[in-house]
Amino acid sequence: MTDQKDKLFQRVVSVAQTLLADAKEQGAVTPGLIANQVEIAAGVIANDAEIDKNAVVAELIRRFSLWIGKDTTLSDNKDHMAWLTAARRRDWRYWQRYESMLESRLSLKAVEALDESTDHILGLLEDPTREGRWDRRGLVVGHVQSGKTGNYTGLVCKAADAGYKIIIVLAGLHNNLRSQTQIRLEEGFLGYETSSKGDSVKAIGVGDIDSDVEIRPNCATNRANNGDFSTKVAKHYAITPEQRPWLFVVKKNKTVLERLLKWIRNHVADTKDTDGRPLVSNLPLLLIDDEADHASVDTGEQLFNPDGTPDDDHQPKAINSRIRKILHSFAKKAYVGYTATPFANIFIHRRNVTKDEGPDLFPQSFIINLSAPSNYVGPTRVFGLRSQEGRVGGLPLSREVDDHIDAEGTGGWMPPKHPKDHVPLQDGKDETPPSLREAVGAFVLACAVRKLRGQGSKHSSMLIHVTRYNLVQEEVRRQVEELVKRFRQRIERGFERESLIAEWHDLWEKDFIPTSEILGCELADAVTECTLPDWDEVIGVLHEVLRDIGVRAINGTAKDALDYAENEETGLKVIAIGGDKLARGLTLEGLCISYFVRTTKMYDTLMQMGRWFGYRPGYIDLCRLYTTSDLVDWFGHIADAAEELRQEFDHMAAVGATPWEYGLKVESHPVLLVTSPLKMRTAKTLSLSYSGSLVQTVSFLNDSESLERNLVATTTLVTTMGEPSEKGPRRQRGGEEDVWKRSHLWKKVSSETVLDFLRSYRTPPGADRANSDVIVDFVSQMNQVGELHEWNVAFLAEGKTGEPFDFSSSVSVSSLPSRTDKGVSGRYTIGVLTDPVDEAIDLIQSEWLAALTATRKEWKPDPARNRVTEPKRPSGQKIREQRGKGLVDAPSPSRRALLMIYPLSPDGAGKAVESWNKPIIGFAISFPSSEAGIKVNYKVDHRFWENEYGPSD
């Protein structure tokens, strides 16, 4: 399919969708109806030109089968007045033209969902025409690369329609991200291209739909890389209340924000506040903070006076201070942060306030969790869900690499730790490692297939993210550019052409064909064409593809830019090499191949580096992620942590909690230990609670002394508890039965017995959640307030037959569970210890059913979280809430934690534990939820933290 046919194809799709939108009002959209409307659209648009009508029908079937879950909200409506009605929306023109533009490009369901979502967000802000002073602050949490920019563009349109006069968008730290955001807002809101000269106005995007100069917004920034708010601009602009809305798209840069602040105070303010500061009383402000967890958070620790009031001498960090001062300069203001990683924002202190800056940026008014549509490919779809056998259900897109380092892991082409002037050499040669050569070859093939699928005029990108240092990035760029040049010469000139063709054909046969076959079946909704073209067709377009591919370094000093907008007609084919500038916010259009070996384990930093998440219509089967096994593991941890955070959010929303209450809850939750302590507002300790959480050992010391110590601790525990309350427990679960044939259960075990075990058990040092010393401290404090005095203990030996081992006269096992070692140096490390059914081993039928009912009540479909069918078992969270209500066994209900002991087979540990042939003891604890408010302090050493997890962004 040629590029011209591709454009024709898209026009037919758009027209047919419009016809179907009208038909939808009369009833369901069926494949037959779609086929009929495609015939009509093709006849009008294609004018008998050759067009693949079957492909159009398939695309529209996918669009109309798309589904989107519902957003979830926590809000505090104190001092808020409901205002958004249908009458207020009647004459909205900014939104109407944006909606029309989206409908030509997206599924109608996606546009409807965006309309509903932005209505909800706007309604939680204040009516811009409301008199007096008001202040609303919220946070919108989306998924990485899931369309947050499109969401806040819609919000900007509606806010301008409603009467917000000044709209400031904080667009990252770098010029290229600011420029990219400016271009997106020109297309979706302004309707015209901006230029540094300001002398020509070309209608684009929504401007092609409605270019009425009477509604044309003003803009004080432009799309150029240096088009930020400047001193020159500041001298010539003034704003009056009756004017059309003004847009400012600025970097989070101290100098730029200071310049904007001074301009607001000197040219916009019309009065002074009670402290004599300039104040804008007549113009309502909407400030949108993109990537709100990055640079906006005050990482300095504010002190508080004995009476609980903030210390006025506190000096917030530069960017945080200026954002707050801008807000503080308006009597009427709304702040909305957007992020996919809200960890840092949740840790903003709710009482932080200073005289000059006013309140901190905690989202006190609302927090909204956006749901992604079913064609979104996020962490849980890429990496799957955790299970005892590892992660299951992920897409076969990852390709593990290790040839970028030497055998010792300290040298080679790109070792994890290297100086800023490192010279990347592969076996002493100035060239890329074989894995990167293969990745570049995969990108060439992906571009070729996309061209043959009619996507030749679409952007295609490759990401190479291996170092944070600009000088090293430049060396990598040079090597990759030379590699592409050699590929091009060999294909065009014939020298060694056949060997290169054979190399790529091998990759095609062993990788592309089997992967496309799998994904063509599993992700039919996201793939425009699930079959690959013939290999001879691919060979036929290689020379064109290689001619189009460019290699660019995207960093703080490079002049290269990803000028997607300038290549909209032909599609940019680019290999982008960078570090921090590619790690946050910057969208790599048509990202196909990622080569990622940058080392960090910080949840929020690592998640933001995942530029490969998002939408891949028609080419998901061509996408690849070349990375290390360690990073695959950590991305899996991220998916789990994000899911825990969202589950807690769903629960808090269901019970009507406010953002303040959610912040207090999450602030003490151990799931968030792996985010920078600086962003947690403390440099010395983390304060956490285990109430309502599941803690499990997934890392074990592998020296004989520690293994023996833990085994002795377990035999002592089992002996002390005596005869089990139940052997081989059986439980009715609805119409089925759960059976633990080889396991044992003790009930009403004293807290002191469990504490003796935990004091004796040795967990690895570090920031792990399952830290026996910290758990002992927590349980002891809970005992002091009358909780956790009684425990249930399960000894879980459901595994393969092995050598018998006696733990006591009553407990002997010969079937040990097995957990496979993940290969982390220096320890025996597993993915997950517990089986989900085990956490309810001590619950009777009525308690289990109550937990299931509560799970289903809060459950909602969300494709981004792999939530499609209603759960058949209760969630761990609801099981722990049930524990918090008290377990039934007479004479009176009692809150009981469950200690689960797993005697693991040493066979699973492999080489990590070579000289040990006895059980390796792991434990997990299901803590009941509690309102006791007990927290324990966990000491953090920053040097250890940085060595273990890498620097924060």
Average pLDDT over residues 741-754: 96
- 249 pairs with which residues across the strands? 169
- 578 pairs with which residues across the strands? 554
Give percent of the chain with pLDDT exceeding 70. 83
Residue 683's pLDDT band (cuts 50, 70, 90): very low
The encoded tokens of residue 841 equal 């081993």
Q: Buried (b) or exposed (e) across 498-514, using 16+ Cβ within 10 A?
A: eebbeebbebbeebbee
Helix (H, G, I), strand (E, B) or coil at 937: strand
Q: How far apart are CA 627 and CA 606, in angstroms?
A: 13
pLDDT at 345: 65
- 139 pairs with which residues across the strands? 337, 367
Omega cis (within 30) before 891: yes
Sort strands 573-578 and 591-596 into parallel, antiparallel or unpaired: unpaired
Q: Using alpha carbons, select from 103, 138, 142 the residue that is nearest to residue 24.
A: 103
Average pLDDT over residues 67-91: 90
Residue 565's pLDDT band (cuts 50, 70, 90): low
pLDDT at 301: 58
The encoded tokens of residue 414 equal 């790109």
Residues 838-858 have pLDDT tens digits of 999 999 999 999 999 999 988
Residue 810 makes CB contacts below 8 A (sequence gap 6+) with 718, 722, 723, 724, 744
Helix (H, G, I), strand (E, B) or coil at 408: coil
pLDDT at 557: 55
CA dist 794 → 417, 718, 723, 805, 903 (Å): 43, 10, 13, 17, 11
Phi-psi region of 503 (alpha: psi -120 to 50; beta: other; left: phi over 0): alpha
Residue 417's pLDDT band (cuts 50, 70, 90): confident
Q: How far apart are CA 721 and CA 793, in angstroms?
A: 9
- For the cut 80, the answer to whether the pLDDT of residue 686 exceeds it is no
Host H or E run for residue 627: strand 624-627
- For the cut 60, the answer to whether the pLDDT of residue 205 exceeds it is yes
| Residue 25 DSSP code | T
The encoded tokens of residue 427 equal 């076996």
pLDDT at 865: 73
Give yes or no for a contact between 296 and 252, defined as CB atoms under 8 angstroms apart. Answer: yes
pLDDT at 606: 63
Sort strands 358-359 and 353-354 into parallel, antiparallel or unpaired: antiparallel
Give yes or no for a contact between 783 and 886, defined as CB atoms under 8 angstroms apart. Answer: no
- What count of other Cβ atoms lies within 10 Å of the Cβ of residue 802? 18
Give yes or no for a contact between 157 and 189, defined as CB atoms under 8 angstroms apart. Answer: yes
For the chain, list the domains and their CATH numbers.
3-65 (no CATH), 93-369 (3.40.50.300), 379-637 (no CATH), 690-857+868-934 (no CATH)
| E runs forming strands in 702-810 | 726-727, 730-733, 736-739, 744-750, 790-795, 800-806
Give yes or no for a contact between 583 and 435, defined as CB atoms under 8 angstroms apart. Answer: no
Host H or E run for residue 567: none
pLDDT at 601: 54
- For the cut 70, the answer to whether the pLDDT of residue 351 exceeds it is no
Burial (CB < 10 A; 0-12, 13-18, 19+), residue 563, is: middle
Average pLDDT over residues 30-35: 82
- For the cut 90, the answer to whether the pLDDT of residue 758 exceeds it is yes
- For the cut 80, the answer to whether the pLDDT of residue 952 exceeds it is no
pLDDT at 8: 78
Q: How many helices (H) and strands (E) does the chain have?
A: 28, 34
CA dist 189 → 154, 238, 359, 949 (Å): 8, 21, 30, 41
- For the cut 70, the answer to whether the pLDDT of residue 666 exceeds it is no
Crossing angle of the two packed helices 148-162 and 175-185, in degrees rounded to 10: 50
Residue 913's pLDDT band (cuts 50, 70, 90): confident
